Structure formats: structure tokens, C-alpha cells
């Protein structure tokens, strides 16, 4: 039986085992998927042996950058962000990938990234979302809090160097104005247990054609709920979590899934979070 695992620290309550188990089932595969909690100081000792025993590996905080030293090559997705969340070993070669960007791209409405994008936040996952938006030709407005000014300036310079034709504007959260094709929330505002919080006003939400919130607990944030109440297409973070896992299975075993299969797993995952992640 093939073995797969997720490494990180601390791992806590993770949805990964359930999501990957269901993906293996839908593909008709027998496989073992485990959680491996590895503190940073133990990575050098434990990772090489683990890599020898698994077909595929998922990687989460704080190992997404350190694991680069243990792979033979990086896919373009990992090179773009200097970050690895998926490792595949084939023909004796370990390749690092970043499937978070694919999960994001497959979650947002088609063609939405080609228009005017309002990005809330610019750190971590926000950087990835900003660069993906730039790659797809978006006109980007980054809305931030004052403490993130230096980070936002750095990201704006990075996008300007890589994609000089892309317009990037930085505004404070309370200074957002205009209409947007897509609003993307990359902040933790609205995450459990502070699920009554919303990062922007109803007026801002009403000026957006679609909404994507990276938060998946709660499965429907106040941002998503308000958008839906206005008839706006709104997508929560569970879709990205499941779809980045789908891409890992495509890489590891060449598996493919129908939209119906993926939607079923997303819905099942939503039910689990609503029931157990409180």
C-alpha cells in the first residue's frame, strides 16, 4: 500500500487526512495518509527517512521553505513563491511543488482575475494571490492596515519587477472606493472564533462582482454571508483547501476527478468543519 503524509508543526486538528482519504476513495486507490508533527529542530533528522517511505508528501507551516533543501528540483509553481507544499518522488527524483496557487485559481470564478481585483491583506497567502492576479492581467488594489505598509510596498515592487505592465495600488482598509470584479480576502478577519467580524463594509462588498474568502472556519464567514445576501457570487476557503489537494493527487498519481466528485468532497468537508471545528 502506498503511503502519503502531511508534515508541519504544530499540526493540531487538520482536515487533510479526511480530504485525501476521500480523494483516494474516489480514485479507487488503497492508500495510507498520516500526520507527521515534526518540530523545526527535528526536520534534518526525520525528513530524509520519511521521504524514502512515502510516495507523496504535503508540507505546511513552518516547513514550506526549509524543505526546499531536501528536494532535487522545483516546479515553476514552487520557484515562483520559493515555497513548497507538495513533494513527489518519481524515478528517484524529488520535485517540490506549490499547489496552493492552483487551488486558488480553480476556486475563483472564471476570468475574474483578468479584471479589477481588490485584495484584502498582502502577507503569506495574500502575496500568492496578488502574484497570481498579476500573472492573469488583473488591475490590483491592495487594501491594508497601516502596520502592513512596508510589506505591501515590497510586494508592489516585486510585482512591478516581474509584471511591469500591471497596475498595483495600495490603500488603507478604510479608504477603499470604486467597483471591482473580484474581492479576495487574505486577512484573518472573520475567522473562528471572531466570526462576527467583517474586513470591509457592506458598501464595499456591494461594489464587487464576486467574492472569495480564504477562510474556511467558519465555512461561511460574515463576508461571504453578506455577499450572498446581495446576490453576489461568494466562495469560501474550503474550495481552495480541497482543490489544492486535488492537484497533489494529479501530481502524485495522475488521478483526475469530475466537478461532481470535487463538489461532493467540498460539501462533506464543510459539514465536518461545521460539526467538529468549534
What are the pLDDT digits (tens) for 250-269? Answer: 999 999 999 999 999 999 99
User: 3-class SS at 55?
Assistant: coil
Given a contact cutoff of 8 angstroms between Cβ atoms, the answer to whether 74 and 94 are in contact is no
Integer angstrom CA distances of residue 177 from 71, 230, 237: 45, 18, 25
Contact 163, 140 (CB under 8 A): no
Q: What is the pLDDT of residues 57-106, one digit of tens each?
A: 999 999 999 999 999 999 999 999 999 999 999 999 999 999 999 999 99
The pLDDT assigned to 74 comes to 98
Residue 13 binned pLDDT confidence (cut-offs 50, 70, 90): confident
Query: Which residues carry out catalysis?
Result: 64
Examine the pLDDT at 278 and tell me if it is beyond 80: no
Question: What is d(CA 259, CA 44) in angstroms, rounded to the nearest whole number?
Answer: 39
How many Cβ atoms sit within 10 Å of the Cβ of residue 133?
Answer: 30
- Cis peptide bond upstream of 10, omega within 30: yes
Closest to 99 (Cα-Cα) out of 73, 132, 143: 132
2-98+239-276 and 102-236 share one fold: yes
Q: What number does CATH give the domain 2-98+239-276? A: 3.40.50.10860
Q: DSSP assignment of 197-214, as one string? A: --SS-HHHHHTBSEEEE-
pTM, two decimals, is: 0.95
The angle formed by the CA atoms of residues 270, 274 and 278, to the nearest 5 degrees, is 135
Topology classification of domain 102-236: Rossmann fold (3.40.50)
Reduced DSSP (H G I as helix, E B as strand, rest coil) percent helix, strand, coil of the chain, to 5: 45, 20, 35
Q: Interhelix angle for 259-276 vs 16-26, to 10°?
A: 150
pLDDT at residue 277 greater than cutoff 80: no
Domains of the chain, residue spans: 2-98+239-276, 102-236
Which SS3 state, helix, strand or coil, does residue 240 take? helix
Contact 212, 183 (CB under 8 A): yes
Helix H or strand E encompassing 44: helix 43-53
Q: Could you say which DSSP state residue 123 is in?
A: S
Residue ranges of E strands in the chain: 2-8, 31-37, 56-59, 73-74, 86-90, 93-97, 116-120, 139-144, 168-172, 182-185, 210-213, 233-235
pLDDT tens, residue by residue, 187-221: 999 999 999 999 999 999 999 999 999 999 999 99
Q: Residues 45, 46, 47, CA angle at the centre, nearest 5°?
A: 110
For the chain, the farthest-separated pair of C-alpha atoms sits apart, in whole angstroms, at: 55
Amino acid at each position: 500500500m502506498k503511503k502519503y503524509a502531511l508534515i508541519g508543526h504544530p499540526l493540531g486538528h487538520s482536515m487533510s487526512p479526511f480530504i485525501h482519504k476521500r480523494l483516494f476513495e474516489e480514485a479507487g486507490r488503497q492508500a495510507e495518509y498520516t500526520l507527521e508533527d515534526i518540530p523545526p529542530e527535528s526536520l534534518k533528522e526525520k525528513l530524509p527517512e520519511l521521504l524514502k517511505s512515502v510516495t507523496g508528501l504535503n508540507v505546511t507551516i513552518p516547513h514550506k521553505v526549509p524543505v526546499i533543501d531536501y528536494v532535487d528540483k522545483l516546479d515553476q509553481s514552487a520557484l515562483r513563491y520559493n515555497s513548497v507544499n507538495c513533494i513527489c518522488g518519481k524515478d528517484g527524483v524529488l520535485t517540490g511543488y506549490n499547489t496552493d496557487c492552483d487551488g486558488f485559481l480553480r476556486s475563483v470564478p472564471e476570468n475574474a482575475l483578468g479584471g479589477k481585483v481588490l485584495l484584502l491583506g498582502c502577507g503569506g497567502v495574500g502575496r500568492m494571490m496578488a502574484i497570481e492576479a498579476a500573472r492573469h492581467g488583473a488591475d490590483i488594489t491592495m487594501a491594508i492596515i497601516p502596520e502592513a505598509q512596508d510589506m505591501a510596498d515590497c510586494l508592489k515592487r516585486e510585482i512591478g519587477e516581474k509584471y511591469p505592465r500591471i497596475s498595483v495600488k495600495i490603500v488603507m482598509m478604510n479608504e477603499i472606493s470604486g467597483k471591482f470584479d473580484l474581492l479576495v480576502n487574505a486577512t484573518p478577519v472573520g475567522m473562528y472564533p471572531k466570526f462576527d467580524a467583517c474586513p470591509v463594509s457592506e458598501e464595499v462588498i456591494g461594489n464587487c462582482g464576486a467574492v472569495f474568502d480564504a477562510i474556511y472556519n467558519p465555512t461561511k464567514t460574515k463576508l461571504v454571508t453578506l455577499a450572498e445576501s446581495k446576490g453576489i457570487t461568494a466562495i469560501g476557503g474550503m474550495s481552495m483547501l480541497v482543490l489544492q489537494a486535488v492537484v497533489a493527487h494529479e501530481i502524485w498519481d495522475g488521478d483526475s476527478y469530475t466537478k461532481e466528485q470535487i463538489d461532493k468532497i467540498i460539501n462533506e468537508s464543510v459539514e465536518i468543519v461545521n460539526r467538529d471545528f468549534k
